[in-house]
Amino acid sequence: MTLATRSTALAFVVAACSGSAPQTRYYQLATPAAVAPRDPMGSVLAVEPLTSEGAYDDERIVYRVGPVRLDYYQYHHWSTTPGAMVGGYLQRALATSGKFRAVVGETTTDTAAVLGGRVVAIEEVDETATRWSGHVAIELTLTDPRTGEIVWSQTYEQREPLATRTPEGLARALGAAMDRIVDQAAPAIAELANRQAHARGVADRR
């Protein structure tokens, strides 16, 4: 092989190897819609990151094309694990719901209850060739920070149509679905947290 031939072959290999893979994009849920003043008479709630069901314990965005088949977008990822993302969204949304004195990420001496749970599903559902929706299902639990006893558990599920089949459209749809879940769950969480705070105050005065 001549030097010229070798140079041509090397240039070909370099060109082939330099072909860049598609850039990975990262997404997160939008900022919660509702903003209300905190309740100075309310309780202090701690929110933990949620766990995730096996198939959803992945930063890659999941899409479902049928009842038994799901797949992942290889180059479209959530900015963190779904459990951490949903937990962070719940913390921000409940903090601005107007139902708590404070919503924190770690348990403090004032914490009345700890909110946790698991992500059962968070995905794009391709219903037809022209109709898609965001689907989220979460199981929430409320725990006594002193005893570790679960005092409440409830599963919530919502779907929201996608205006466009894009990761941005999915993130917006799932944010809207999460807003409805927070609207449904916040009153029960606040009531139970207030009960826990009252029961602790009674016990401490004994």
DSSP 137-183: EEEEEEE-TTT--EEEEEEEEEEEE-SSSSHHHHHHHHHHHHHHHHH
d(CA 177, CA 188): 18
Show me where the domains of the chain are located.
3-205
- For the stretch 83-124, pLDDT in tens is 999 999 999 999 999 999 999 999 999 999 999 999 999 999
Please, are residues 162 and 173 in contact by the beta-carbon 8 Å criterion? yes
Nearest to 119 by CA among 133, 139, 134, 105: 139
pTM: 0.86
Instruction: Give the pLDDT confidence score for residue 201 in this predicted structure.
Output: 67
- The answer to whether residue 16 scores a pLDDT higher than 70 is no
The per-residue pLDDT for 202 is 43
**DSSP per residue over 2-53, as a string?**
-HHHHHHHHHHHHHHHT-PPPPPEEE-PPPPS------TTS-EEEEPPPEE-
Average pLDDT, the chain: 88
Of the candidate CATH numbers 3.30.750.210, 3.40.50.10610, 3.50.50.60, 3.30.70.360, the domain formed by 3-205 belongs to: 3.40.50.10610
Instruction: Give the model's pLDDT for residue 19.
Output: 63
- Of residues 118 and 11, more confidence is placed in 118
* Least confident piece of the model among 22-36, 110-124, 145-159, 169-183: 22-36
pLDDT given at position 119? 98
Q: Any bridge partners for residue 71, and if so which?
A: 63
Cα–Cα distance for residue pair 75/24, rounded to 1 Å: 4
pLDDT band at 206 (very low <50, low <70, confident <90, very high): very low
Indicate if the pLDDT at residue 12 is higher than 60: no
What is the structure's pLDDT at 8?
37
Q: Is residue 32 within 8 Å of residue 89, measured between CB atoms?
A: yes
In the prediction, which pLDDT does 20 show? Answer: 78
The pLDDT, as a whole number, for residue 33 is: 74
Percentage above 90 pLDDT, the chain: 79
Q: Calculate mean pLDDT across residues 12-31.
A: 73
Model confidence at 7, pLDDT cuts 50, 70, 90, reads very low
